[in-house]
Amino acid sequence: MSATATRRRRHDDTPDTAGAFLRMSRLPSGPERDALRETIICEWLPVAKRLALRFRNKGENMEDLTQVASLALVKAVDRYNPDLGHAFPSYAIPVITGELKRHFRDYLWTLHIPRNIQEVRSRTRSARDALEQELGGRTPTVGEISTRTGMPQEDVRAGLEASASCTPLSLNAAVQGAEERLLAETVGADDAALERVVNRESLRVLIADLSEQDRYVLYLRFFAGLSQSQIGEILGFSQMHISRRLSRLYSELRQGLLAHA
């Protein structure tokens, strides 16, 4: 291999598929073209996996990253036109890398962060990591990061805050305060009583339209906690009469609630 070819192929896993692409572009749709396309994709898969490895420390599963890179490779193979005169690596590598970055931007941020803030975060994070090594592990100040990046301190603060939205705290993280407790213990839960508020308010209006005796029967049953027999003794009716009366009231109130839903 010539020195020029060696300089062009920076990685050993970069295959020479220029001839294959040229042949595929001349073939009509069919089994022969499909087989050649599959061969090209298989030869380039190690490159896609290598590019995915660059993002392995960003909190995403490696299998998912490899899948994203592989799908991007397929797109690159299908869209590449050798007649335009550009080498496939110069086209495919930016396409695959771009898809990986887009994956993180669109699916892995806890909050939607504008692209300019994401770029600020990236510069801030790189400068912070470099300064931490230079400072022997000490966390650099906002001013030091600002000096290193040349960005205003306000932008540095925005970049540092954006980092928190990409890697949120675990619910098992300890919360600083008067007493030690977990973050999960500070998160509120749904109040089951809230679901009954609407029904109670609707019932208030419906019950107000009932006769005084019907309201009294409901009061004795649900607020005083009396049985049907006890209610019958107070009002001078049989237990069966109270039972039928309550059934009628339940039906009327239920229909009223459905009508207001």
Half-sphere exposure of 51 toward its Cβ, with a 13 Å CA cutoff? 24
Share the mean pLDDT of the chain.
82
**Model confidence at 121, in pLDDT bands (50, 70, 90)?**
confident
Give start-end residues of each CATH 1.10.1740.10 domain in the chain.
3-107
Tokens linked to 207: 């019950």
Give start-end residues of each CATH 1.10.10.10 domain in the chain.
115-168, 194-260
Instruction: Quote the pTM value.
Output: 0.43
pLDDT tens readout for residues 134-191: 888 788 999 999 999 999 999 888 888 776 665 566 677 776 665 677 777 777 777 6
**Model confidence at 125, in pLDDT bands (50, 70, 90)?**
confident
pLDDT at 70: 94
Output the CA torsion 59→65→66→67 (10° steps). Answer: 140
pLDDT at 1: 40
Q: Which CATH class, in words, describes the domain spanning 3-107? A: mainly alpha
pLDDT tens readout for residues 38-51: 999 999 999 999 99
pLDDT tens readout for residues 14-26: 889 999 999 999 9
Least confident of 12-26, 98-112, 203-217, 234-248: 98-112
> What topology does CATH give the domain 115-168?
Arc Repressor Mutant, subunit A (1.10.10)
Please give the CATH number for the structural domain made up of 194-260. 1.10.10.10
